[in-house]
Structure 1
Amino acid sequence: MKTHAQLFALIALALASSGASAQFVKGNEATRAMPGGGSQVETAPLPTTGPIRSTKPCAAIAGCHAGPWHMVETPEGLRECTEVYARAGTCRPSSYGTTMLARLWVVKSGGEWLQCQYPDLGSRCVKVFARPPANLPFDAVQ
């Protein structure tokens, strides 16, 4: 009987930890493991021209964000951001796995920045810097 309880505990632990391992996108070129441990993280660059450069960003805690949250790997870890650029103040700690929200996953693949519907490069992904309507993302509540 004791072995059944131990087996049940191991299965419960494996299921609980499986959600945490989904908090990254396999193949995201923006995150690179460094020799000797640690990682180097790159975030999407701000456009060199256009309204985004002169517009005040929506702070993550300001309540001004009406769209899906952008899930971005940053040097601080996975964050929920109001924009793909992850500027200071626009991100908050991730609630993925505990709170259901409309989300997009910001990744770099093939040298291009993408917004993906799920944390999977095989999901619906669009180029961040493409002209509309080609850059209109497909968010999903997750």
Structure 2
Amino acid sequence: MYRNDGFCELNRQESLRLLAKATVGRIVYTRQALPAILPLNFLLDTDGAVLLRTSEASELVRAVDGAVVAFEADEVDPAAHAGWSVVVTGPAILVNDPAEHDRLALTGPRSWVPWPQEAFVRIEPELVTGRMLIGGRSQYGVELP
């Protein structure tokens, strides 16, 4: 954080706590050698991994399986000039283990569009970064210096 930019960096624990409250985020990946961004609903797994549920035949599954991606979610209150943003960066892995797939079918994110053949993508949280607009600190219950 630059001293006077109005933002405060969040630690990994605070970042994951805020991310767990969000329902929609954006995955950033590479499509045909260009950056692509797609909004998705998601769920945070107990280990901090971001879980996505989509069609097994989707372009997204083919593009991200095994690739390093970023996933960002935020909350913004324009009236209060407050908000936060969290980014998880790490490898995206298609869940192939049948037991893990069955577990996620019960506890994982719900697809907004049901697909006949669904797939789960897991984004491992190798790097977790978060920023909060200092003016909004009390609204989100984060201890700031």
Larger Rg: 1
- In terms of fraction of residues, the more helix-rich structure is 2
The TM-score normalised by the length of structure 1 is 0.25
The TM-score normalised by the length of structure 2 is 0.24
- In terms of fraction of residues, the more strand-rich structure is 2
Higher relative contact order (CA 8 A, sep 6+): 2
